[in-house]
Amino acid sequence: MEAKTPDDTAEREAFYAAIEPESLRALWSVMGDIITPEPRSACLPFKWRYARLRARLLQAAELITAKEAERRVLILENPGLKGQSKITTSLYCGLQLVMPGEVAPAHRHSQSALRFVLEAKGGFTAVGGEKTVMRYGDFVITPSWEWHDHGNDSSAPVFWLDGLDIPLVQFLDAAFAEGYGADQHPIRRPEGDSLARFGANMLPLDHEASRPTSPIFNYPYERARGALEALRAKDEWDPCHGLKLRYSNPVDGGWAMPTIGACLQLLPKDFRTQPYRSSDATVFVAVEGQGRTIIDGQAFDWEPRDIFVLPSWREVVHEAAEDAVLFSYSDRPVQEKLGLWRERRGNR
């Protein structure tokens, strides 16, 4: 179905003008714009070079401290969504820097957040009273309304990607935030506690899920990368994804986060995926290797730590010049819960 807007007449235009002060609008005059045969978004494909982002953040570090900024972050704003602080229509993306000796003060908010570590030699994040060291490629979760702070006790700067559902929560008018009042929230559990309790295909006997987010908040890259490498031996490559795994919640097997779906995929050298479309706009981070991604005929070369965005329902093809690993996140869990998610494989 593609609704065609009826032709305007003098009488119709007079009617529209008469009802406008009453906060009314004729559906037939706008139906083609709000009920579309396929997704229609202002979101554009785009790529950010990590080297450039890193340099800009180091410039920012000369201008403002992590404590003064609360979070020293540069937002990766989609060029089709200028002024909206969005990388897709439903998701936010930023790059955060914590310099040696700094602490990003403790706070909490109703938005759910993920961290994907891009450069670290000893920095840490603390979530809900447990501290974890941040290492390259780690996927770290901050659940909704959980106290968290970040710090850097190493001698080198720490950089990571922040992915949040800010636009979605904002759309629902459900945004709340609160400062803790001190730089750091008290540590109540030893490092590795959540992984020991929930990360060995086991659960505490009397565990009852109290929230939809995974009780594991750090998924180490070493483990995830090892899983991909072990599965490589099966030589069972999905034609559209290579070998792709999703981060899951050990309690129910669902997505690790209720509003954001995160994945890690391996593309072997010289692998070219078949054309693919899906309704979830997706943010990608190149973790290993080099290659390029072609979105609706537009090619984007990438190397480790580069970030690029794939809008909803755009045709995508990945090409790996060497063994490559991509991290990605999207709003697929929300779309699946609402029965909205779709995909199309191949050129059909």
pLDDT band at 40 (very low <50, low <70, confident <90, very high): very high
Rounded to whole angstroms, the Cα distance separating 262 from 255 reads 8
- Long-range CB contacts for residues 69-77, cutoff 8 Å, separation at least 24: 70/104, 70/105, 70/107, 71/96, 71/104, 71/162, 72/96, 72/97, 72/98, 72/104, 73/97, 73/162, 76/48, 76/307, 76/309
Average pLDDT over residues 123-146: 96
H helix or E strand, kind and range, residue 238: none
pLDDT at 209: 86
Domains and CATH numbers, the chain: 46-345 (2.60.120.10)
pLDDT at 261: 98
Positive or negative: CA dihedral 230, 233, 238, 240:
positive
pLDDT at 325: 98
Range of weakest confidence among 62-76, 89-103, 196-210, 234-248: 196-210
pLDDT at 348: 65
Q: State percent of the chain over pLDDT 70.
A: 99
pLDDT at 3: 66
Positive or negative: CA dihedral 101, 104, 105, 107:
negative
Given a contact cutoff of 8 angstroms between Cβ atoms, the answer to whether 140 and 115 are in contact is yes
Per-residue pLDDT tens digits for 246-273:
999 999 999 999 999 999 999 999 999 9
Q: 8: buried, middle or exposed (CB in 10 Å: 19+, 13-18, 0-12)? A: exposed
pLDDT at 347: 77
- Asked whether the predicted pLDDT for residue 4 surpasses 90, the reply is no
pLDDT band at 80 (very low <50, low <70, confident <90, very high): very high
Given a contact cutoff of 8 angstroms between Cβ atoms, the answer to whether 56 and 102 are in contact is no
pLDDT band at 210 (very low <50, low <70, confident <90, very high): confident
Per-residue pLDDT tens digits for 280-324:
999 999 999 999 999 999 999 999 999 999 999 999 999 999 999
Tokens of 219: 């998924």
- Asked whether the predicted pLDDT for residue 122 surpasses 70, the reply is yes
Average pLDDT over residues 216-222: 97
Token pair 């994945």 is at which residue?
263
Q: 6: buried, middle or exposed (CB in 10 Å: 19+, 13-18, 0-12)? A: exposed
Amino acid at 21: P
Which of 174, 179, 159, 40 is CA-nearest to residue 106?
Answer: 179
- Asked whether the predicted pLDDT for residue 38 surpasses 80, the reply is yes
Rounded to whole angstroms, the Cα distance separating 63 from 20 reads 48
Sheet order of strands, 307-310 included: 46-48, 307-310, 282-288, 324-330, 261-267, 243-246
pLDDT at 183: 92
DSSP 79-130: GGGTTS--SSSS-EEEEEEE-TT-EEEEEEESS-EEEEEEE-SSEEEEETTE
Average pLDDT over all residues of the chain: 96
Rounded to whole angstroms, the Cα distance separating 105 from 74 reads 17
Spacing of C-alpha 228 from chain mean position: 20
